């Protein structure tokens, strides 16, 4: 994502607007007692326990990522992040969840189609984060099939599968998207905290 303050502000604005729309649909669903089929997907309630499990699972994956990077000797290969980028990655917890766990899933076509779509879109989610290529400003495009690229992409895949499991598992009876958003935001903020502790935030 572009790290210019303007682009980050724009992205945060989009995330805030989408969050506002979701909250409006959630309140409407709560008031009427039924889900509006024209509303945003997953604008339903979830148990407090599920929120806790969502965050714990996301942080366990982050712990595995951090420990794995140290064990593989690739922790020093992290990219740097400007401090105000944290607002954009928190906003991603809303926007990316709406796109992937909200709309990019094959639902109501049977369990096999649901699971297959979750895995397939998780692969897309992991790959489009761009760890297999480099296109830095002023440099030529280059593939980066490194240990770091494969490991980080694998962690992104695990994260995505966790977020899909949170939404479509039997523990989320209303298929609420809110636990996914919280888990995603917690994971991204955790990444920021790790980078800050390791000196990669500028």
Judge whether 153 lies within some domain: yes
Judge whether 72 lies within some domain: yes
Give exposure, 38-76, as e/b (b: 16+ Cβ within 10 Å). ebbbbbbebeeebbebbbebbeebbeebbeebeeeebbe
Judge whether 33 lies within some domain: no
Separation CA 8–CA 1 (nearest Å): 8
Residue 39 near residue 25, CB atoms below 8 Å: yes
Judge whether 183 lies within some domain: yes
pLDDT for the residue 120? 98
Judge whether 32 lies within some domain: no
pLDDT tens sequence across 156-201? 999 999 999 999 999 999 999 999 999 999 999 999 999 999 999 9
Separation CA 27–CA 8 (nearest Å): 28
CA torsion 30-32-36-39 (nearest 10°) is -50
pTM to 2 decimal places: 0.94
Domain span holding position 143:
5-22+44-198
Judge whether 150 lies within some domain: yes
Q: Looking at the 3D structure of the chain, how many domains does it have?
A: 1
Judge whether 108 lies within some domain: yes
Judge whether 137 lies within some domain: yes
pLDDT for the residue 1? 59
pLDDT tens sequence across 2-21? 688 999 999 999 999 999 99
């Amino acid at each position: 994502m572009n790290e210019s303050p303007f682009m980050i502000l724009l992205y945060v604005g989009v995330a805030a607007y989408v969050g506002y729309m979701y909250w409006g649909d959630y309140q409407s669903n709560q008031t009427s007692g039924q889900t509006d089929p024209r509303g945003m997907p997953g604008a339903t309630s979830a148990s407090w326990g599920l929120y806790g499990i969502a965050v714990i699972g996301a942080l366990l994956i982050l712990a595995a990522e951090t420990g794995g990077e140290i064990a593989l000797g690739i922790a020093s290969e992290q990219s740097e992040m400007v401090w105000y980028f944290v607002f954009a990655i928190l906003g991603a917890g809303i926007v990316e969840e709406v796109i992937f766990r909200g709309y990019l899933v094959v639902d109501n076509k049977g369990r096999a189609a649901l699971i297959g779509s979750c895995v397939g879109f998780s692969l897309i989610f992991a790959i489009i984060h761009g760890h297999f290529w480099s296109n830095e400003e002023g440099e030529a495009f280059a593939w980066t099939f490194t240990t770091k690229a494969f490991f980080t992409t694998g962690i992104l895949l695990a994260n995505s599968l966790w977020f899909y499991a949170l939404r479509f598992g039997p523990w989320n009876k209303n298929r609420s998207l809110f636990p996914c958003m919280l888990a995603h935001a917690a994971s991204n903020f955790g990444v920021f905290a790790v980078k800050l502790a390791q000196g990669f935030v500028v």
